[in-house]
Amino acid sequence: MVFSSTTVLFVFLPVVLAVYFVCPKRARNVVLLIASLIFYMWGEPKLVLVMLATILVNYILALVCAGCKEKENPRGAKAALIGSVVFSIGMLAFFKYTNFMIDNVNGSIGKLAGFTIAGLRDLTLPLGISFYTFQTLSYTIDVYRGEVKPQKNLLHLATYVCLFPQLIAGPIVRYKTVEDELSFRQETVDDFSRGVRRFVTGLGKKVLLGNMAGSVFDLIGQMPDSQISVGLLWLSSIAFTFQIYFDFSGYSDMAIGLGLMFGFHFNDNFNYPYISDSITEFWRRWHMSLSGWFRDYVYIPLGGNRKGKGRTILNLFFVWLLTGFWHGAAWNFVLWGLYFFVILMLEKYVLRSVLDKLPIWVRRIYALFLINLSWVIFSYDDIHELGSVLKRMFGLGYIPIWNSSTTFYLLSYLLLFIIMAIASTPAPIFLWKKAEEKLMTKSYGGAVLLGAEIIGILIVMLLSTASLASDAFNPFLYFRF
């Protein structure tokens, strides 16, 4: 299931919310677990077993690991951890990367030696495996590090891993973030209402902005050569830049909002990434739960920046290679990760001093240009197609720079692009807060605010429902993750 669907909004959510709050506190984790399993099995009825196996194995190994630590048996603890890592990464590697490996072997050595491996070609990727694998790893690693106690209650651990709000598209919630809330949490009116606001905001971002931007990207992608132009290709890349942000951060907002409704407090995942003035800053604001994960569980264990410049660069190279590969089993994602590695290294060692001297808006344009280009690499998983699109974008294809269709689609989507540009900045929230402060000094302020909020919620909900009921473009972008 995806949150932005009529099934979730009008069947799944009302039923789950009703059952959850009717049940006594001790039964609520069971309700969430069952709801989460239905949510997961809705799109993946068979491969749910992979997830359940991962939970069970890590549950046992974490207990073993903690047991060994208590008996001061560090080798045993380490063995349990290694077992957990090998199993989790092994499952991920097997389901996610086998096809890719086989394709590449077939395409290189196979071609030379004249053989093809067919066997496992049609493996399907279990939904959300990249997310839940990273979550369970955060759990066992933190148990090994002694940062959290092992969860003795299998039900609690399963609830954590399967928790439907963050199950299939993140954010990657670490076990220690919700450790206490799993066994005891207080659902409050304040949290629930904040959850509603967050969820509705996310729904609007995903359906009313992200999907619309996505339809532009798709539309231009399907155009025949006689219609395309350099301008349209840039328009399409900007559309994708907006799509991935509003889709992904909207999805995170919905996840965080749903978490709040059930009394969980997840960390933020996005912090206005497109106002960054460098790529370094961009990665402190984009998909923060992922970059934080790689920092804490890969970069720092490898030695971080404490072992000299050469080792630091090597560590970062490794992190970005993995980051790229995590996003999908295809070469363009590897390229995308390494693209960021190169830029980050340049910024760290060469450009920083130059950039600092430039005015802020030049730095922002610099960052946006590189971000936009990164999404071009990201959006074409066929490396030949990617090459041809990049060539054409920089005027090396035999297409016009501009044509009438370019003007038509630019005018058609101009207002949407302006709205999305404004919505990518903190300006709307800032203005809302200002208005709130002003109104609160007046006697009627509360009523006006409430009215504005209700109207806002209703408009977003109605328009989103309209889009979903119209069978409009509504993709799920993270099936590769």
- Rounded distance between C-alpha atoms, residue 154 and residue 309, angstroms: 44
Q: Is 13 in the site for another protein (CB under 8 A)?
A: yes
Q: Is 124 in the site for another protein (CB under 8 A)?
A: no
- Residue 119: burial class (beta carbons within 10 Å; 0-12, 13-18, 19+): exposed
Helix (H) or strand (E) run with residue 391 in it: helix 383-393
Task: Determine which residue in the list 24, 113, 225, 401 makes contact with another protein, applying CB under 8 A.
Answer: 225
- Rounded distance between C-alpha atoms, residue 165 and residue 171, angstroms: 9
> Among residues 155 and 472, whose Cβ is nearest to another protein?
472
- Rounded distance between C-alpha atoms, residue 36 and residue 57, angstroms: 19
Q: Is 17 in the site for another protein (CB under 8 A)?
A: yes
DSSP symbol at 274? G
Site residues (CB under 8 A) for another protein, limited to 92-111: none
- Given the residues 156, 265, 287, 327, select the one marked as catalytic: 327
Q: Is 421 in the site for another protein (CB under 8 A)?
A: no
Q: Is 448 in the site for another protein (CB under 8 A)?
A: no
Q: 57 with 116: CB under 8 angstroms?
A: no
Q: Which region, judged by CB under 8 A, interacts with another protein, from 66-74, 99-107, 167-175, 187-195?
A: 187-195
Q: Which region, judged by CB under 8 A, interacts with another protein, from 107-115, 197-205, 281-289, 296-304?
A: 197-205
DSSP SS3 for 33: helix
Task: Determine which residue in the list 105, 298, 448, 449 makes contact with another protein, applying CB under 8 A.
Answer: 449
First to last CA, the chain: 16
Task: Determine which residue in the list 50, 81, 212, 386 makes contact with another protein, applying CB under 8 A.
Answer: 212
Q: Is 450 in the site for another protein (CB under 8 A)?
A: yes
Q: Which region, judged by CB under 8 A, interacts with another protein, from 69-77, 371-379, 384-392, 399-407?
A: 399-407
Closest CB 95 distance from another protein, rounded Å: 18
The full length of the chain comes to: 481
Task: Determine which residue in the list 112, 360, 441, 444 makes contact with another protein, applying CB under 8 A.
Answer: 441
- In the numeric block, the tokens 């709205």 are attached to 419
Task: Determine which residue in the list 73, 104, 106, 227 makes contact with another protein, applying CB under 8 A.
Answer: 227
What string marks each residue from 401 to 420 as x (binds another protein by CB under 8 A) or -? --xxx-xx--xxxxxx--x-
Q: Is 189 in the site for another protein (CB under 8 A)?
A: yes
- Rounded distance between C-alpha atoms, residue 124 and residue 47, angstroms: 9
Closest CB 428 distance from another protein, rounded Å: 17
What string marks each residue from 340 to 369 as x (binds another protein by CB under 8 A) or -? ------------------------------
Task: Determine which residue in the list 453, 477, 479, 480 makes contact with another protein, applying CB under 8 A.
Answer: 453
If binding means CB under 8 A, how many residues of this protein chain bind another protein? 63
- The DSSP-derived string for 26-64 is GGHHHHHHHHHHHHHHHH-TTTHHHHHHHHHHHHHHHHH
- The DSSP-derived string for 244-267 is HHHHHHHHHHHHHHHHHHTT--PP
DSSP SS3 for 471: coil
> Among residues 261 and 319, whose Cβ is nearest to another protein?
261
- Rounded distance between C-alpha atoms, residue 469 and residue 257, angstroms: 23
Closest CB 27 distance from another protein, rounded Å: 20
Site residues (CB under 8 A) for another protein, limited to 461-480: 461-463, 465-472
- Rounded distance between C-alpha atoms, residue 159 and residue 183, angstroms: 10
Peptide bond into 171 cis (omega under 30): yes
CA angle 27, 13, 56 (to 5 degrees): 50
What string marks each residue from 46 to 85 as x (binds another protein by CB under 8 A) or -? x---------------------------------------
- Rounded distance between C-alpha atoms, residue 140 and residue 174, angstroms: 11
Long-range contacts of 20-27 (CB under 8 A, 24+ apart): 20/262, 21/187
Q: Is 224 in the site for another protein (CB under 8 A)?
A: yes
Q: 266 with 441: CB under 8 angstroms?
A: no
Task: Determine which residue in the list 61, 182, 208, 334 makes contact with another protein, applying CB under 8 A.
Answer: 208
- In the numeric block, the tokens 């951060």 are attached to 249
Site residues (CB under 8 A) for another protein, limited to 22-51: 42-43, 45-46
> Among residues 127 and 290, whose Cβ is nearest to another protein?
127
> Among residues 34 and 57, whose Cβ is nearest to another protein?
34
Q: 146 with 234: CB under 8 angstroms?
A: no
Identify whether 327 is a catalytic site residue.
yes
User: What sign does the CA torsion over 40, 46, 47, 50 have?
Assistant: positive
Assigned token pair, 358: 């430039």
- The DSSP-derived string for 116-170 is ---TTTTPPPPTTHHHHHHHHHHHHHHHHHTSSPPP--HHHHHHHHH-HHHHTT-
Residue type present at position 211: N
> Among residues 292 and 456, whose Cβ is nearest to another protein?
456
Q: Which region, judged by CB under 8 A, interacts with another protein, from 1-9, 60-68, 162-170, 281-289?
A: 1-9
> Among residues 186 and 353, whose Cβ is nearest to another protein?
186
Residues of this chain that interact with another protein (CB under 8 A) are 5-7, 9-11, 13-15, 17, 42-43, 45-46, 189-190, 192-193, 196-197, 199-200, 208, 212, 223-227, 403-405, 407-408, 411-416, 419, 436, 440-441, 445-446, 449-450, 453-454, 457-458, 461-463, 465-472
Give me the active site residues, please. Answer: 327
